[in-house]
Structure 1
Amino acid sequence: MKNIKYYILFTALLSMIACKKDFLDTEDVTSATEQNFYKTPNDAWKALVGVYDGLQRVWSGGIAFPVASTIMSDEAFGGTGNADGFGYQMLDEFDKLRSPSDQDLFGDSWSLYYKAIYRANMLLTHLDGIDWKGNTTLRNTYEAETRFIRAYCYFDMVRLWGNIPLITKPTTDNVPQANADSVYKLIAQDLKFAAANLPATSYPAQDPSTHGRVTKWAAESLMGRVFLYYTGYYSKPDVVGEISKAQALASLEDVINNGGFGLVDKFANLWPAASLNNYAGEDNKETVFAIKYTFTSDWNGNVDGNTWMVLYGIRIQSIYPYGMGWGGATVNPKLWNAFAPTDSRRTASIISFNDEKLNFTNIKDQREYTGYTIKKYTPMADEAGKSLAEKMGGVSFMISQYQDYVSIRYSDVLLMAAELGSAGAQSYFDDVRKRAYGADFVQTPVNEDNILNERRLEFAAEGIRYWDLLRQGINVASSAIAESVTVQNGGVNTTKTILASKIQETKGLAQIPYTQITLSNNVLKQNAGW
């Protein structure tokens, strides 16, 4: 079958909308064709802009990967409005019977990922037809950036959905699902190429105008994350023969020793809502890789904003300095309680309505209210309740949130290296904890259990915890996530139950959109439990 929904036309590929940073600023190319476009390095540059734009857009519809990761974990519940549908509860509880009509929860997400991959494949296919005038370094740099973005997208997708179509060239064919090993092999090869062909420019020496572009350090860091997840979830010694434990650790040590990164002095200063006037800023020394956003989205197809962050906002109410949103991903109280009172990350990561004396008056419209919500990624407002995104010129708080998603932080690199057995493991572990506890720091022995617990606290609500649980095994993950707890639906105490058996039945995977299965004439097969 031709023209499956998740592919895009070439002309759509070339309608590239500029992103926030200068390196992404370029004119639209609407009259180009595949035959006349890929001729010069400047053409390749414009196509590369389109690849980055594809990555920026992948979470502009459906359920964003960070949101899904947080809700599927033991960090947060689905939340949202008390009169809303139960799609987020279906996701949260791994139970399709919670909302049987929600058969396309990830429909837009699936399509947007494959659109991004199409853009990457289109550029990769045409690189050798471009007259580079002997500049093979530039050619390889563009290929490296593109292959990283393709690997990034596939890593999200293979974790979410397991067996997925593996597409490495532009096509409209009806491609069946590949086994996970084939996908991971491509991911590993793409990341290795990226790491080998991007310049080793340390963070302090980077041109600020290039912030947001893929670096050698981002590729090496993602190699470590891929190794830990794949070898854990699939119980394998290496990543399909492509990345060994020694290679993963060496990549992370290279980032530590040569990347020029460091920890921001105070944890709260990493997050706008937690620091206000002391925010360390975008692209600070701890940011290894971020997906860039800005406030210039509109209702006419310009998708530059962080459109998923509004889900985390307080339900239809601004309470300075927090802006309104949809009340999704209400934080599980056990996450708040997992932090020691002396751990500065607790109040930097989570909004506690009681502790901050916030007068939430809209509780009757809130589902699964717990008294806690996410602070790291929350919309912000001024003292009069005006959205900061709108004050900056955004057309609506719903689509104009501008906070970047920091996908890889330097503290993650330190903890991954410690987990993989670095000789500096105790020092790396201590560095992360010293910042968290300040004068109350007490050294804890570095071991796997302590590292994983530290990761839970360090990366709360950053889209990492769920995958850390799954890579310990489905039994460990289901045991951590399953519970019966009291929440408030519309202000009324209600028992919420998440069953371990549902998580085990699905193997922790998400629902493949049924529309895609139909469009494929049932070539695509649904995951177990969905």
Structure 2
Amino acid sequence: MKKFIYTTLIALLVCGTACEDDFLDAPAPSSVDEDTVFVSTGDAQKVMAGIYEIWYDLDRLLFYETEVVGSDSECHPENYASQGRHIPEGLFASEFNINDGNSATTWKECYTVINRCNIMIEAIEEKEEYQEAVSKGQPTEWTQLYGEATAARATAYKLLVRYYGDVPYFDYAIKSTEQTDTLGLSSRDLIYDKEIAALKKAVPLMYRLGEGGINAERFSGTYGDALIGRLAFDAAGYQLRRTDFDYGNVTFEQIGVENSTWQAKYVRRTDWETYMLIAKEHYLNVVNNPGSARLIESDERGEGFNNPFQRNFQYLMDLEVSPESIYESGYTRGFNSDFPYSFGRPSGGGGSNAYPPKNYGQARIYASFYYGDFLPNDKRRDVTACVTANSGAASERLINFEPGSREKGGLALNKLDEARFKDPYTVAQRKSGCNWQQLRMADVMLDLAYASAATGDEATAKTYLTKVRSRAFPEADQAEHVTSYIGALSGQALLDAIAFERKLELAGEGKTRWDMTLYGKMPERIKKLRDRQIAMVEGLKSDGYYTFPETGMTISNYVWTKYVNIKEDIDPSLNLLTTQTPEGLAPDDPTYPVLVPGWRGTSDLWIDYINTLESDKVNLAIRGLYEYIDPDGPVAAALEADGYEKSPWGANIIANESQYTSDIFKGYPDSYYNAGEPPRYMRAIPFETLSKSKGLITQGYGHASE
């Protein structure tokens, strides 16, 4: 009988009764006494597995639409007018359907997770085994599962607040619609406080990573401390707040003016430092008691690699959990996954049986970020962004700045690349089995550095900024670009440097947009991005090139490319796909056009297919990426005599000027910046929720109500 009851509730919990249509229309998940459900921890683990099944895609939709394409380093590849999703990404230059499918689905799935977690939390709290473990203060399987449910609920609320602002809050199981009859919007301040308190209760009784069989594909105590830090950091940061909502006795510091049309202001709490100290405390718990997690600071792979930053991502491409991960959303090969289809190096291959299959390349990198922020000796640059795509036929193809997808759309992400997998999957697109690394140690360390600097502990801030930045530079450059650079920083300059380091370290991982928001810097960073892009375009138009003053790096209208046989002409052991560019290599070195930039090429594992190609149609040699070559001058003539072809590079940026200038954050023009207007990044609450709330839940931020 118990087995029947358990199976019935599992079906209800996992297959979707709770919050089926909307959290305000949630039928009871079961009429049975849930104390009889979790006979064993195995029963509870199966329910938690059902929550994780929703979790794998929980934030993917809005991450895809806004977070990974809407910062001052990351952008989308298509024409602005070609996709409606560019409207919210660009801060609403025009109004947008409040029932947008991706937004409505995210809202619904977050509340589905929340209610299922509440059911699980209440059931476990009634277990004698759990109560005994709590009284002894010792982690057990019961307290671990309780903590996982608590962490899942808190993370879902974190996402809801990020995307929608003040939202309905409940920390009890919704079993009937009557329970929601009086449920309205709750202040995000209450949500942060309640979820931080719940996590503080649960986390000490969770296993750290590596303990109790817990790896980074499950929520651990290590993740729980990081989540407390994240919630507190968010609570301390600048956010868009409604002026038609009562925040009680919370007072604010404001940037700019209040927008009276859509009744919002850009503010942070006046007691923000209290929350930043909580963030610092719990981030320190992570780095001081990380379990098995660690920052990867060396590369054991030997000569030619020498890039600990890239080593982290290679674990993912080898289908292994990275030791740097604090949480990875786990995927299985052969089932749908957007990693690296949307967020990796593009491929022009077909949907199946290609080398590799199609990779769309949803997230791209601004040219001004690539050329103007990365120093040329920063090991993260070539790992972060690529200048060539996979052709889909085991060869390279030059990236094109024409709007589009695959090899078009501008500089693409390179942290993941199906050609770089230890065992590449060529059967079908979107089925690589690559995990989504949602939180890693470098992310936590840089947040810790910021929280420390913001609260006056500059020594701790510099310690963790140094740890992350050190691995990005060769030994010969440590004194100048790490020790002296960080040593000279203090006050606001230190905070800005940490924010800048996060931009460099986490580009393409969808963290920068929210950073811009929380730091109170979104308006000025939008303005600076647009100004830099405009200056670049003007230079390309007037001179044929533009040199970024911050780095000395030059982008030109044209580059010169030719296919080469690297095995015969350069080095039979060389594999460009996993090669760190040698230090000090000059443009006149015969290997320079092939070895610069690094971390590109194709997989040697496709040798049988490669052998069917013409011998010189696999790898690209490139000149002119970082130097100006006069198209009518002697260097260009010599290159063309040697078989190189002139290819448009910056010229295609000029040809699509609005894409790279005026369409950037189109909903926040310079006039808004000059007037001190707040950035309007919040999403609309779906109509179904508004309509069923009996007027208790109202729309904000100028969005329509139907």
TM-score when normalising by structure 1: 0.78
Q: Report the equivalent of 1:5.
A: none
| Structure 1 Cα separation of the partners of residues 191 and 98 of structure 2 | 30
| Structure 2 Cα separation of the partners of residues 156 and 488 of structure 1 | 40
| Structure 2 Cα separation of the partners of residues 517 and 31 of structure 1 | 26
Select the structure of larger CA radius of gyration: 2
Is residue 182 from structure 1 mapped to residue 224 from structure 2 by the alignment?
no
Go from structure 1 to structure 2 and tell me whether the alpha carbon gap of 1:342 and 1:244 turns closer, same or farther (over 3 Å shift).
Answer: same
Counterpart contact for 1:287–1:408, Cα < 8 Å: yes
* Letter aligned with residue 37 of structure 2: F
What do residues 190-218 of structure 1 show as CA deviations (whole Å, max 9, x unaligned)?
3322332223x4x5x54666442222221
| Structure 2 Cα separation of the partners of residues 207 and 251 of structure 1 | 21
**Post-superposition shift, 1:121?**
1.1
| Structure 2 Cα separation of the partners of residues 321 and 257 of structure 1 | 43
Q: Report the equivalent of 1:468.
A: 515
Is residue 78 from structure 1 mapped to residue 246 from structure 2 by the alignment?
no
Go from structure 1 to structure 2 and tell me whether the alpha carbon gap of 1:144 and 1:102 turns closer, same or farther (over 3 Å shift).
Answer: closer
Is residue 107 from structure 1 mapped to residue 121 from structure 2 by the alignment?
no
| Structure 2 Cα separation of the partners of residues 514 and 521 of structure 1 | 12
Q: Report the equivalent of 2:641.
A: none
- RMSD over aligned CA atoms reads 4.0
| Structure 2 Cα separation of the partners of residues 246 and 364 of structure 1 | 44
Q: Report the equivalent of 1:458.
A: 505
What do residues 260-318 of structure 1 show as CA deviations (whole Å, max 9, x unaligned)?
5432221111224xx99xx6763332112222222243xxxxxxx43465333566713
Secondary structure at the residue paired with 1:525? coil
Q: Report the equivalent of 2:682.
A: 509
**Which sections of structure 1, spanning at least 5 residues, go unmatched?**
1-8, 17-29, 298-304
| Structure 1 Cα separation of the partners of residues 408 and 698 of structure 2 | 36
Go from structure 1 to structure 2 and tell me whether the alpha carbon gap of 1:521 and 1:377 turns closer, same or farther (over 3 Å shift).
Answer: farther
Q: Report the equivalent of 1:92.
A: 89
Is residue 402 from structure 1 mapped to residue 433 from structure 2 by the alignment?
yes
Larger deviation, residues 359-368 vs 89-98: 359-368
**Post-superposition shift, 1:347?**
0.8
* Letter aligned with residue 375 of structure 2: A
Counterpart contact for 1:366–1:490, Cα < 8 Å: no
Question: Please, which of 216, 229, 237 is the counterpart of residue 232 of structure 1?
Answer: 237
| Structure 2 Cα separation of the partners of residues 348 and 476 of structure 1 | 28
Is residue 168 from structure 1 mapped to residue 171 from structure 2 by the alignment?
yes
Q: Percent identity?
A: 20
Counterpart contact for 1:144–1:190, Cα < 8 Å: no
Structure 1 residues 25-104: aligned runs within 5 Å: 37-59=37-59, 63-65=61-63, 68-80=66-78, 85-95=82-92, 97=94, 103-104=100-101
What do residues 21-41 of structure 1 show as CA deviations (whole Å, max 9, x unaligned)?
xxxxxxxxx999665524443
Structure 1 residues 307-346: aligned runs within 5 Å: 307=338, 309-312=340-343, 317-318=348-349, 323-337=357-371, 338-346=373-381
The number of residue pairs the alignment matches comes to 481
Q: Report the equivalent of 1:152.
A: 155
Secondary structure at the residue paired with 1:424? helix
Secondary structure at the residue paired with 1:87? coil
| Structure 1 Cα separation of the partners of residues 529 and 184 of structure 2 | 32
Counterpart contact for 1:286–1:410, Cα < 8 Å: yes
Go from structure 1 to structure 2 and tell me whether the alpha carbon gap of 1:389 and 1:34 turns closer, same or farther (over 3 Å shift).
Answer: farther
Go from structure 1 to structure 2 and tell me whether the alpha carbon gap of 1:389 and 1:37 turns closer, same or farther (over 3 Å shift).
Answer: farther
| Structure 1 Cα separation of the partners of residues 98 and 125 of structure 2 | 47
Go from structure 1 to structure 2 and tell me whether the alpha carbon gap of 1:12 and 1:397 turns closer, same or farther (over 3 Å shift).
Answer: farther
Larger deviation, residues 253-262 vs 502-511: 502-511
Larger deviation, residues 317-326 vs 101-110: 317-326
Is residue 479 from structure 1 mapped to residue 527 from structure 2 by the alignment?
yes
Secondary structure at the residue paired with 1:185? helix
Q: Report the equivalent of 2:309.
A: 267
Secondary structure at the residue paired with 1:165? coil
Q: Which has the higher contact order (CA 8 A, sep 6+)?
A: 1
**Post-superposition shift, 1:248?**
2.7
| Structure 2 Cα separation of the partners of residues 488 and 123 of structure 1 | 58
| Structure 2 Cα separation of the partners of residues 290 and 493 of structure 1 | 37
Q: Report the equivalent of 1:26.
A: none
**Post-superposition shift, 1:348?**
0.7
Is residue 193 from structure 1 mapped to residue 201 from structure 2 by the alignment?
yes
Question: Please, which of 333, 336, 339 is the counterpart of residue 295 of structure 1?
Answer: 333
Go from structure 1 to structure 2 and tell me whether the alpha carbon gap of 1:89 and 1:314 turns closer, same or farther (over 3 Å shift).
Answer: farther
**Which sections of structure 2, spanning at least 5 residues, go unmatched?**
1-8, 17-28, 239-266, 299-307, 538-649
Counterpart contact for 1:345–1:436, Cα < 8 Å: yes
Secondary structure at the residue paired with 2:72? coil
| Structure 2 Cα separation of the partners of residues 374 and 466 of structure 1 | 16
Counterpart contact for 2:343–2:413, Cα < 8 Å: yes
Go from structure 1 to structure 2 and tell me whether the alpha carbon gap of 1:360 and 1:246 turns closer, same or farther (over 3 Å shift).
Answer: closer
Question: Please, which of 649, 658, 666 is the counterpart of residue 495 of structure 1?
Answer: 658
Counterpart contact for 2:309–2:472, Cα < 8 Å: yes
**Post-superposition shift, 1:223?**
2.3
**Post-superposition shift, 1:410?**
1.3
* Letter aligned with residue 284 of structure 1: S
Counterpart contact for 1:40–1:132, Cα < 8 Å: no
Go from structure 1 to structure 2 and tell me whether the alpha carbon gap of 1:428 and 1:480 turns closer, same or farther (over 3 Å shift).
Answer: same
Question: Please, which of 459, 469, 493 is the counterpart of residue 433 of structure 1?
Answer: 469
Counterpart contact for 2:98–2:684, Cα < 8 Å: no
Counterpart contact for 2:402–2:409, Cα < 8 Å: no
Structure 1 residues 371-410: aligned runs within 5 Å: 371-377=410-416, 380-381=418-419, 388-389=424-425, 391=427, 396-398=428-430, 400-410=431-441
Q: Report the equivalent of 1:284.
A: 322
| Structure 2 Cα separation of the partners of residues 390 and 420 of structure 1 | 44
Go from structure 1 to structure 2 and tell me whether the alpha carbon gap of 1:186 and 1:368 turns closer, same or farther (over 3 Å shift).
Answer: farther
Go from structure 1 to structure 2 and tell me whether the alpha carbon gap of 1:165 and 1:381 turns closer, same or farther (over 3 Å shift).
Answer: same
| Structure 2 Cα separation of the partners of residues 364 and 482 of structure 1 | 18
| Structure 2 Cα separation of the partners of residues 382 and 432 of structure 1 | 24
What do residues 315-369 of structure 1 show as CA deviations (whole Å, max 9, x unaligned)?
6713997652334223221221211111111111112239996245896754995
Go from structure 1 to structure 2 and tell me whether the alpha carbon gap of 1:251 and 1:313 turns closer, same or farther (over 3 Å shift).
Answer: closer
| Structure 2 Cα separation of the partners of residues 525 and 153 of structure 1 | 21
**Post-superposition shift, 1:404?**
1.7
| Structure 2 Cα separation of the partners of residues 436 and 388 of structure 1 | 27
Q: Report the equivalent of 2:612.
A: none
Secondary structure at the residue paired with 2:397? coil
| Structure 2 Cα separation of the partners of residues 291 and 141 of structure 1 | 18
Go from structure 1 to structure 2 and tell me whether the alpha carbon gap of 1:259 and 1:144 turns closer, same or farther (over 3 Å shift).
Answer: same
**Post-superposition shift, 1:146?**
1.1
Counterpart contact for 2:216–2:325, Cα < 8 Å: no
Q: Report the equivalent of 1:527.
A: 700
Larger deviation, residues 163-172 vs 452-461: 163-172
Go from structure 1 to structure 2 and tell me whether the alpha carbon gap of 1:365 and 1:339 turns closer, same or farther (over 3 Å shift).
Answer: closer
